[in-house]
Structure 1
Amino acid sequence: MDLPIAIILIVFTIIVLVTAFLYRRQIWDEVEDLFDEDDEKSLESGAAPLPNEPEPLTDDVLKKEAVEPEVSHTSPPAQAPWDSEHDALESVSPAPTRGIARESAPSLSSPTEGMAIVPETVKFSAYYPRETAPQVWQPLVGYIFRQSATSDVVKDVKEVLGARLQDFRRAEENAHETVSEGALVTATPHLPGFQVNPPTLALGFYEPFHRFGFKVRATSAPLNRAVNGNMTFSVEGVIVADLPISIFVGEMVGEAMTGAVTKAPYNSIFCSYSHDDTQIVERVEKAYHALGMTYLRDVISLRSGQAWNDELMHLIEEADIFQLFWSKAAADSRYVRQEWEYALQHGRQIRPVYWEQPIAKVPDELRSIHFAFVPDLAE
């Protein structure tokens, strides 16, 4: 019984294999017939000859060869190694004039899209004679400059002061605040017993650095003593930097020695003023926008209600400088008095300025402090 079944299975297997072989052969024959038909149609339609057959030298072909230059198959010279990735990118050929153009690689020197631009540090500096004889005009030079322009300032000082540069001293501090481009910056030297020409200078801050050129001479300053003063920089009447100046006045002095000092702008300025002085209120607000100083904004906000509170006292304690805008209205304001009294008690640096003449009565507690006349504040 088992033998017949085995024979049947063997016969069935042989039939299946033979059938598959014949079917496969039939398919190949049909494919070859299709290719033969395509070749015949292409020959009948005048198609180009096969690649292994030479192209006939027709008149059109001869004209084309006469116009188009022969392509050289010589390998180009080896490219020298690039010094940097930037050089490698610059050596990339320009986009093709035909075909699919790819986007060029981004330049390494271009800023990354969306990258925040950090405001650059702004500094102030002053150059002054270390000693002078009476009635002798001496240069006094101030600068406002961006940190990246430091070398340009040094170059400018060399041209202005010449050989005196060997006696310069230089000290620098990083600024904590920046001055907006276009802000009107005023420089005013204060030196008791000295004439200053011009008394003040104002420049728009547009370039990497600006020079404020003055001349000073001792007229009524005491002999054989050092006169201490400062060069004040302000924006809209608000003091942003105070550079100390000290000049020795003597009868017998050699060629004036020149000192240099560089200082950062004030980081926190407490402005004390009466709200009746509307032009001062407007100037302080303009100064806040020009300086972008958060501290000054807080002072404006807290003083808007004319209320004396703990937060104001805290701001006075933190202030780098206490600027007192002195006027008849300020002298009559009890809030202004509370502010300067608190500043005195806590040893704050008080810088009074006034613009009205005659000056409003100065309290006895403030008589030892210099009140600077700034007529521009009246505008």
Structure 2
Amino acid sequence: MEILKALFRNTRLLILDEPTSMLTPQEIREFFDVLRMLRAEGHSIILIAHNLAEILEISDRVTILRDGKRVCTLNTAQTNERELSRHMIGRDFLEAEHARTDTDAGQEVLNVRQLCLQGPERTPLLDQINLVVHSGEILGIAGIDGNGQAELAEILVGIRRQSAGEIFLAGKRLDHLSIRRRSELGLAYIPSDRHQDGLVMDADVAANVHLRDYYRPPFAKAHLLLFAEMQKSARRMAEDYQVKTPSVFTKARVLSGGNQQKLILARELSAAASLTIACQPTRGLDIGATEYLRGQLLNRRNGGKSVLLISTDLGEILALSDRIAVLHGGRIMGVVENTKSLSVETLGLMMGGSTLEEASACR
């Protein structure tokens, strides 16, 4: 509709900012056909995107920006993902093949039963959600943004209260417990908005990395904070998780987006959590930081821990998940094993509102 409105005004130049983020794979193909038609009719298009495969598929030339500056402009037909990645992060980048080890995925860690959430005027935001996550498993939640992903994550960590249903972590019921108590029982959370929900931007690195445990020994004694211990621990964690910071006294807002996310990882993954909920964990990160974060999540899985990965990036879901649940309109359309035989077409239909049975019948 936005493109039609622009064409109606005889627009010759279209500027599209992440236009595929709300589309299914089938809709992306149709959208690219429209762009090719507009190009053939003489329209100019500037496409701003982070998905390199899409850039290579649809563009004629590609310009790389880094730190607000133009790095280079290349003819798309004469470049590839590796070269683009090198220009984007400023160094050679070798995509890691993160190994999947065999794990005992039998123990139930998270069990969500008949979870419901009602919005304004009693409209269902989440409807009869049933999920199980096992130890040594990454369960991916796929879907177009705005279909209940944020609400699901916030209910699981305790930010919101559900209208109905039950949540169990390692057999213990969570749904009436506080955020802190859930954290103490073994739940870690990587939020989608690191500025709003993940960090205290005007606090320093040491304070942010200890938001989970500042009130417990060895960082507190008789209601007093032991800052020396916090700073010592923060230096070690920053080194372990490759957080590039001038010092542990540096404010979080000064760090790059990638280092802010690594700071959250250091806080959440250093805890002895049995379940990590990662909501859009690589959004806004460069390729290097994205691969580092994905590797950390897979390390958790390979170590026998559980991960609930909520992402609108279908490539990310397919790369990391053992099983995939598709969320549409606040409902789970189906849960599938992530095997080589899994069709992206099937996932795309489910993301568009088809049940697993309906999507399978269309193949």
TM-score, L = length of structure 2: 0.26
TM-score, L = length of structure 1: 0.26
